[in-house]
Amino acid sequence: MELKDKVYIVTGGSSGLGKAMAQALVEEGAKVVVTGRDEQKLMRVADEIGADAYLADVAKDADIEALYIYIQNKYDQLDGLINNAGIGDWAAIDEMDREKMKAVFEINVFGATMMAAKAAKIFKTQQFGDIVNIASTASQKGYKMGSIYAASKFALRALSQCWQAELRPYNVRVIQINPSEVPTAFAQVDRIERPLEDKKLSPKEIADVLVATLKMDRRGFVPEVSVFATNPF
C-alpha cells in the first residue's frame, strides 16, 4: 500500500521516535500532522521535516477535540493515528507516589485512548484506517523500579488487543510497536536528545518498522512487533 497523500497524526512528534517516524512518513509522500506541548520546538521540527504542526496535549480532552476539528477542516481526511506521545517515571514499590503514577497514565494510557477513540469513529465510518500504538518492550516484561512505566505500557498492550478485536470487522488495523532502549530525549528533564550509541537502537529502526507495517497490503496487518538491538553489550 502506497503512503503517498495519506494523512497521519503523530503525537509527540517533535523529537526522538516521533520525529523520526513523522519524517519517514513525509519521505513516503504522506501528509503528516505532528503534535506536541512545546510550541517553539514543535514548529521548528515540523518546518525541518516538512510536516504540519499542531500544538496539543493528549492529556487534555479540549486539545484532542480541537486537533480533530483542525484535521477535518484542513484535510477532510485521516488515514492513520500514530500514538507516540509518552512519558516515564520510576520508583521502588515502597516509594510509590499516586500523583507520579497518575501523570504517566494520563498520557501513556488515557491520552492514547482518547486519541484513538476519536480516530476510531472516523475509521469505522470510512471502513479503513490504522492506529499504531508505540509501546515498549516494557509492555511484555516488568523490571525492577518499573512499576509506573511498565504498568502503563502493559495497559497500552491490553488496549491494543481490545481495539484489534473491536475494529478488525471495520477493516481497521491496530498495530503495536515495542521499541527496546533508544537514546532520545525521553525521560530527560531538559528534553535534550541523548547522543546515539553504536550498540543501541536509533529512532530510524522504529521508523523503518512503522513504514513497513503501514505499507503492507490492507488484507493483512502486524498485531505487534518488538524491536531489539542486535548486540547491546
User: Which residues are catalytically annotated?
Assistant: 149
Dihedral of CA 85/90/94/95: which sign? negative
Cα atoms found within 13 Å of the Cα of residue 42, Cβ hemisphere only: 19
C-alpha cell at 185: 530525549
Residue showing cell 516538512: 50
Beta bridge partners of 134: 177
The letter for the amino acid at 170 is: Y
Contact in structure between 119 and 47 (CB atoms under 8 Å): no
Best CA proximity match to 92, nearest among 26, 146, 50? 146
Specify the DSSP element, H or E, that contains 66.
Answer: helix 61-74
Q: What is the rounded CA–CA span in Å between residue 76 and residue 94?
A: 50
The H helix count followed by the E strand count for the chain is 7, 7
The letter for the amino acid at 10 is: V
